[in-house]
Chains A and B, each alone.
Chain A
Amino acid sequence: MILSLSECRQDTIILKSQNRSQSSASMSKPPIPEETRTAEYLLHKYSAVTGAYDELQEQPGVPRAHWSPLVDSLQQLDRHELESRWENGRRIIREHGVTYNVYGDPQAIDRPWGLDFIPFIIPGEEWALLEAGLAQRSRLFNLVLADLYTGSQRLLRDGFIPPELVYANPGFLRPCRGIQVPSKVYLHLLACDLARSPNGQWWVLSDRTQAPSGMGYAWENRTVVSRVLPDQIRQSRAQPLAGFFQRQREMLFDLAPAGADRSSVVLLTPGPNSETYFEHAYLARSLGFPLVEGPDLTVRDRGVFLKTIEGLQPVGVILRRVDDAWCDPLELRGDSLLGISGLAEATRAGKVTVANALGAGLIESPAFLAFLPGLCRHLLAEELLLPSVATWWCGQAKELRYVIEHLDSLIVKPAFGSSVSSPIPPMTAAMARHKRAEHRAKFVELIEAAPRDFVAQERMKLSRAPAWAEGCLAPRAAVIRGYVANGGKSITVMPGGLARISKNPRDLAPALHSGTISKDIWVLSGAPQNVPEPAPITGETRFIERGLTGVSSRAADHLFWLGRYTERLEQLLRVLRCVLGRAAAEPGAGNAFEHGGLAELAFNLGVLSEKEIPPAGNGELTPRMLHLLYDQDEPSGVRDLLRCIRSASLAVRDRFSGDTWRILGRLDADARARPGRLALASATGLSHNLVLDLAAFNGMEMENMTRGRGWRFLDFGRRIERGMNVLKLSRAAVSVQTPAAALEPVLEIADSLMTYRRQHFTAPQLHHVLELVIREESNPRSLAFQINLLRDHVAALGADVSPASPPVEGARIQALADALRTTDLTGLAVQQASGEAHPLVAIFDAWSTELAALSDEVTNRYFSHSGART
């Protein structure tokens, strides 16, 4: 087993905080009798909210039966122990990089996921009712969609749905009418938001049929919570989630069109700017489907193909997280850059399955809620098991009147889907009376101008669930989201889901977007003994059998540049660290000479803006160095390179293990350090930390990444960059007036000082140094070492990808290897050192040009559809 750096650190931190809690408990607090502590501890501030159902308590101080085991178990633990567990949980979330992006807020693009570690518990018997209701809803919606898209629209003619609910609805995609859907599954995945009213009854607040989000977060929440409360989750016998994902995966295989490769499933994402990109990558990785963006796919011969470096690979099923209207610029929204031109035609030809089907978003319009009971009786001959919260669609005269009369007690929403933003600002209790009247008049005017665009819903008093707040439990308004998957032959409901709670006690309902806090949902097993969840213990549930094995051209491109950028950053940090280290050293004999050489070297490398000697020992940094280290906008500075690394790694996030991702997360976090009071010390600390993080990333990738083509492109990028860096460093060194003065720093930057000292016992000499960093094949930092690896990569990629035509890159790399071998480096270095001639600069430049040409050739051959970068 490989114990990663992050694991080590985590364990240490847990140990430390345990120690601290023990000591603080024993030192600062007198021992408290068991009962007193229990009473005073978790629930002492918990007071149920009048008029709302309380999930935890039946009456004050008495937890409901299904909560008792957890409450008891948490009582056993000290408050500090719990706090330290939560802290550990938050660390896991940060290190997993669980985020939720918020549109229009560039600073918050990586807002960390909010998770309250106290679960939301639902007993098995109660869940069985919800489960049946959710499954019924999935069947019902599917039948409605079938009638509207491929049936005769009898539901409109027979009066079960008012026609304008469909015809005036932007979610009704006319080009999709008549397209037959495999197994008649229009709605593969449904999500429902549920809330409990004061009398204990569950109600559906809204449905998600477009591309429901949150499943990945629910799974990740479970992973985190089972690491934070491992014993509690086992004792509670919470039903595991992994089986649901396994079944959903099988269903997607079953939904593949006849003749298609069953396992050729992809997950289509709008890309890293999407709010829920984290879970797209998480689900893709966990389910074993390639994560693709629209431009990765192409329609040929009415079929859909994934563009990979090996060529086009047919795709049978697209699990989409792109809204349907954006999926095909040819037949749907023409301004979409997220879709695949011709996708609608490919579905019409029956060559690909899109889940949910194009057009399925129609039925999540809140206005449908008002008509579900009638539809259910008509289509299923059953009563609707899960009632929807009372909903009035203003498109009907009677309903409109009711809504206007009862405006103050209702919530008004756009009738046609959540994608349409509401023009109405919410009316709050805090508004002054005259403001309210004014507001109300505006409201009425808006609604009456276009009544069919609005629905009103009863303002329900949400149930309160316990959440962790200031060292004990406190009630918070809660909504839960459940998930149902339909595979045609069967329907399966996730035994759990995503609970959301309001952030502070005054909020009436959890806001959907900003500042939501989520919870894991534990559905207790009905059976007395259940197999404990095997998966979340490792947190890396993965279905490894993959259908599509190709590396998409876009992914290969990102991996290549990730290799180049990480290496570029490492080199920059090594140079900075070397300069900083010497600046901090004691001023003394010999140092002045060396400082002169180093300053020149640093200037040649672009790290100092003028030939200035960094003041030794006084802790000052030059402005140029400050910019390189801390300035967001400094081109090719630390922050800028990190941004490039971040965007490249985000785009291929599904290819990295959780540990690797954690390291990248730490790299980002470490780089946020601000210059402290001791500028030099903090800068040195920063570059040390970052160099170590990069080493961990490289080590993780060397040790753990499958040596497939994806890895080859990553390593290819790194080797090209390292080769260029060695040449740049060597060129900078020989350009120093007295090269000897810069040689020790050169060896330090090239991480070859130890080797040099082992080989030579004298002060560094130029020709020895160059032999070591350029030509020594056993030195992993040397140019020769990079070229040997590049030659292997070129050969392997050529054999894999285009066996018929050996690529020209092979010839180029061979010529470079030959030149390296036959050049009289020592002779030229002696000339250079004596100042007779300066032949080396031209040679190094020529070799650099060759490496750049190699980079271009690879770019053009394998990533031809992506734009150029530098």
Chain B
Amino acid sequence: MKKLLYEITHTTIYDYLGDVSVSHHLLRLAPRTYSKQILLDHGLAISPQTATVEEHPDYFGNPAHFMAVEIPHRQLEIKSHSRVAVLPAFVPDPLETPAWEVVRARCRDDHSGQALEAHEFTYPSPMVEVADEFAEYAVASFPRARPVFDAVTDLLARIHADFTFDTTATTVSTPVMDVFRQRRGVCQDFVHFLIACVRSLGLPARYVSGYLETDPPPGKPKLRGVDASHAWASFYCPSIGWIDVDPTNNCVPSLRHITIGWGRDYSDVPPIRGVLVGSQNQQLRVAVDVVACGPTEEG
């Protein structure tokens, strides 16, 4: 099977206005290994010296690192370096997938194995509420007995057409209802909205955090640090499993999307979450490089 090998560098620098005496951070920066990708190598370079870096799998099985800096500092730099082999996604024929009502009934009544896991993603979560307004928007794509993937593909296209990408319209904590009203936002917002629509119909949907390899403009060399963290969604299809969909780019992720991890919404998988003792004012700089190293036979 064809695989693509990526080298990813994700650098985050916090500048504080005053001394921070102790800081704790929870990192979700290491891409997880699962059926569609293999993490070959991962390293964290943190400055200043850390007192602790401990890895544990989080609730959803994503690798998480707890780190502590216990010496006074005014700058914190976290550099995460990963080598990942990505496999192409299995994309079924949308018309061959089961009717969406069948999926809904299955997730509600079947409490075994994968279906139980999927069941958990049908409920509201901290950043994604469930409401009639979302269902009303979604239902145009979900007529009776439409195959679920076909319906989601249609919803994806509508969101892509109806919503404007605008980096100034929202923040990381903008409620999904606001996104819906103003029809503007960034990838995180579109994903939350898609999830809200799908869950409002009683179907499971999850949030995926990761990276996207981007192309330079035609004829220009690729610049360093221009890539960014990306997010997309995933919906559940019995006997196939989870299928990724990217509302920002109206596509089904395959070889150019690298998954870090998933959760119910952004709040389950932020790349970095921190608590500081001392200065509360900070400035943040992030640079991400996703470099494709060509096909590989590894793994």
A635 at the interface (CB under 8 A from B): no
> Would you call B68 and A300 a contact (CB within 8 A)?
yes
User: By CB atoms of chain B within 10 A, which of A156, A300, A329, A345 has the most?
Assistant: A345
Which of B49-57, B136-144, B215-223, B236-244 binds A? Answer: B49-57
Which B residues touch A338, using CB under 8 A? none
> Would you call B66 and A345 a contact (CB within 8 A)?
yes
Which A residues touch B57, using CB under 8 A? 178
Which B residues touch A157, using CB under 8 A? 111-112, 116
Give chain B interface residues in 14-32, CB to chain A under 8 Å. Answer: 22, 24-26
| Known A167-B119, A167-B123, A299-B24; contact A330-B111, beta-carbon cutoff 8 A | no
A348 at the interface (CB under 8 A from B): yes
Give chain A interface residues in 146-188, CB to chain B under 8 Å. Answer: 156-157, 159, 163-164, 167-168, 174-175, 177-178
Which B residues touch A341, using CB under 8 A? 24, 275, 277
By beta carbon, the residue of chain B nearest A168 is: B123
Contact residue among B22, B54, B111, B274 (Cβ-Cβ distance under 8 Å from A349): B54
By beta carbon, the residue of chain A nearest B132 is: A449
A533 at the interface (CB under 8 A from B): no
> Would you call B111 and A159 a contact (CB within 8 A)?
yes
> Would you call A164 and B59 a contact (CB within 8 A)?
no
Contact residue among B25, B26, B111, B124 (Cβ-Cβ distance under 8 Å from A156): B111
> Would you call B111 and A163 a contact (CB within 8 A)?
yes
How many chain-A residues does the 8 Å CB contact rule pick out? 25
B77 at the interface (CB under 8 A from A): no
B154 at the interface (CB under 8 A from A): no
> Would you call A330 and B59 a contact (CB within 8 A)?
no
B265 at the interface (CB under 8 A from A): no
Which A residues touch B273, using CB under 8 A? 330, 334
B7 at the interface (CB under 8 A from A): no
> Would you call A329 and B59 a contact (CB within 8 A)?
no
User: By CB atoms of chain A within 10 A, which of B52, B54, B119, B275 has the most?
Assistant: B275
B58 at the interface (CB under 8 A from A): yes
| Known A156-B116, A163-B119, A163-B120; contact A330-B274, beta-carbon cutoff 8 A | yes
Name the distance in Å between A137's Cβ and chain B's nearest Cβ.
25
Name the distance in Å between B190's Cβ and chain A's nearest Cβ.
23
Q: How many Å lie between the Cα of A299 and that of B59 in the bound state?
A: 22
Which B residues touch A300, using CB under 8 A? 22, 51, 68, 70
A824 at the interface (CB under 8 A from B): no
B268 at the interface (CB under 8 A from A): yes
Q: How many Å lie between the Cα of A695 and that of B246 in the bound state?
A: 74
A298 at the interface (CB under 8 A from B): yes
- What 1/0 flags go to A597-639 for Cβ under 8 Å of B? 0000000000000000000000000000000000000000000
Which A residues touch B268, using CB under 8 A? 174
Name the distance in Å between A178's Cβ and chain B's nearest Cβ.
7
Which B residues touch A163, using CB under 8 A? 111, 116, 119-120
A262 at the interface (CB under 8 A from B): no
- What 1/0 flags go to A297-341 for Cβ under 8 Å of B? 011111000000000000000000000000001110010000001
Contact residue among A156, A168, A175, A342 (Cβ-Cβ distance under 8 Å from B59): A175
| Known A156-B111, A175-B58, A300-B51; contact A342-B24, beta-carbon cutoff 8 A | yes
Give chain B interface residues in 91-143, CB to chain A under 8 Å. Answer: 111-112, 116, 119-120, 123-124
Which A residues touch B68, using CB under 8 A? 299-302, 342
- What 1/0 flags go to A67-81 for Cβ under 8 Å of B? 000000000000000
Contact residue among A159, A301, A330 (Cβ-Cβ distance under 8 Å from B51): A301
Which B residues touch A159, using CB under 8 A? 111
Which A residues touch B25, using CB under 8 A? 330
Contact residue among B56, B59, B111 (Cβ-Cβ distance under 8 Å from A174): B59
> Would you call A301 and B52 a contact (CB within 8 A)?
yes
> Would you call A342 and B58 a contact (CB within 8 A)?
no
Name the distance in Å between A270's Cβ and chain B's nearest Cβ.
18
By beta carbon, the residue of chain B nearest A300 is: B70
- What 1/0 flags go to A271-313 for Cβ under 8 Å of B? 0000000000000000000000000001111100000000000
| Known A164-B123, A167-B119, A300-B51; contact A177-B24, beta-carbon cutoff 8 A | no
Q: How many Å lie between the Cα of A178 and that of B57 in the bound state?
A: 9
Which B residues touch A177, using CB under 8 A? 59
- What 1/0 flags go to B66-89 for Cβ under 8 Å of A? 101010000000000000000000
Give chain B interface residues in 275-297, CB to chain A under 8 Å. Answer: 275, 277
| Known A163-B111, A298-B22; contact A330-B119, beta-carbon cutoff 8 A | no
> Would you call A330 and B123 a contact (CB within 8 A)?
no
Name the distance in Å between A634's Cβ and chain B's nearest Cβ.
34
Which B residues touch A298, using CB under 8 A? 22, 277
> Would you call B59 and A345 a contact (CB within 8 A)?
no
Q: How many Å lie between the Cα of A299 and that of B25 in the bound state?
A: 12
- What 1/0 flags go to A439-466 for Cβ under 8 Å of B? 0000000000000000000000000000
Which A residues touch B119, using CB under 8 A? 163-164, 167
Q: How many Å lie between the Cα of A330 and that of B52 in the bound state?
A: 15
Which B residues touch A164, using CB under 8 A? 119, 123
Name the distance in Å between A324's Cβ and chain B's nearest Cβ.
15
> Would you call B275 and A302 a contact (CB within 8 A)?
no
Name the distance in Å between B13's Cβ and chain A's nearest Cβ.
20
Q: How many Å lie between the Cα of A761 and that of B132 in the bound state?
A: 93
Q: How many Å lie between the Cα of A174 and that of B275 in the bound state?
A: 19
By beta carbon, the residue of chain B nearest A302 is: B52
Name the distance in Å between A347's Cβ and chain B's nearest Cβ.
12
> Would you call A330 and B54 a contact (CB within 8 A)?
no
Name the distance in Å between A400's Cβ and chain B's nearest Cβ.
14
Which A residues touch B59, using CB under 8 A? 174-175, 177-178
User: By CB atoms of chain A within 10 A, which of B52, B116, B273, B277 has the most?
Assistant: B52
Which A residues touch B26, using CB under 8 A? 330-331
By beta carbon, the residue of chain A nearest B68 is: A342
Contact residue among A156, A168, A342 (Cβ-Cβ distance under 8 Å from B66): A342
Q: How many Å lie between the Cα of A331 and that of B66 in the bound state?
A: 10
Name the distance in Å between A419's Cβ and chain B's nearest Cβ.
15
Q: How many Å lie between the Cα of A157 and that of B124 in the bound state?
A: 21
Q: How many Å lie between the Cα of A174 and that of B269 in the bound state?
A: 12
Q: How many Å lie between the Cα of A167 and that of B275 in the bound state?
A: 27
By beta carbon, the residue of chain B nearest A174 is: B59
Name the distance in Å between B194's Cβ and chain A's nearest Cβ.
20
> Would you call A330 and B116 a contact (CB within 8 A)?
no
Contact residue among B22, B56, B124 (Cβ-Cβ distance under 8 Å from A348): B56
> Would you call B22 and A167 a contact (CB within 8 A)?
no
Q: How many Å lie between the Cα of A546 and that of B250 in the bound state?
A: 64
| Known A156-B111, A301-B52; contact A329-B116, beta-carbon cutoff 8 A | no
Q: How many Å lie between the Cα of A301 and that of B71 in the bound state?
A: 12
Q: How many Å lie between the Cα of A329 and that of B277 in the bound state?
A: 12
Which A residues touch B70, using CB under 8 A? 300-301
By beta carbon, the residue of chain B nearest A331 is: B26
A-B CB contact pairs (8 Å), 29 listed: A157-B111, A159-B111, A163-B120, A164-B119, A164-B123, A167-B119, A168-B124, A174-B58, A177-B59, A178-B59, A299-B24, A299-B68, A300-B68, A300-B70, A301-B51, A301-B52, A302-B68, A330-B24, A330-B26, A330-B274, A331-B26, A334-B273, A341-B24, A341-B275, A342-B24, A342-B68, A342-B275, A345-B54, A345-B66
B binding-site residues for A, Cβ under 8 Å: 22, 24-26, 51-52, 54, 56-59, 66, 68, 70, 111-112, 116, 119-120, 123-124, 268, 273-275, 277
Other 10 A-B pairs with CB < 8 A, given A300-B68, A330-B26, A349-B54: A163-B116, A175-B58, A178-B59, A301-B68, A302-B54, A329-B275, A330-B24, A334-B273, A341-B24, A342-B66
Closest 9 CB pairs of A and B: A341-B275, A174-B59, A168-B123, A167-B120, A345-B66, A342-B24, A341-B24, A330-B275, A329-B275
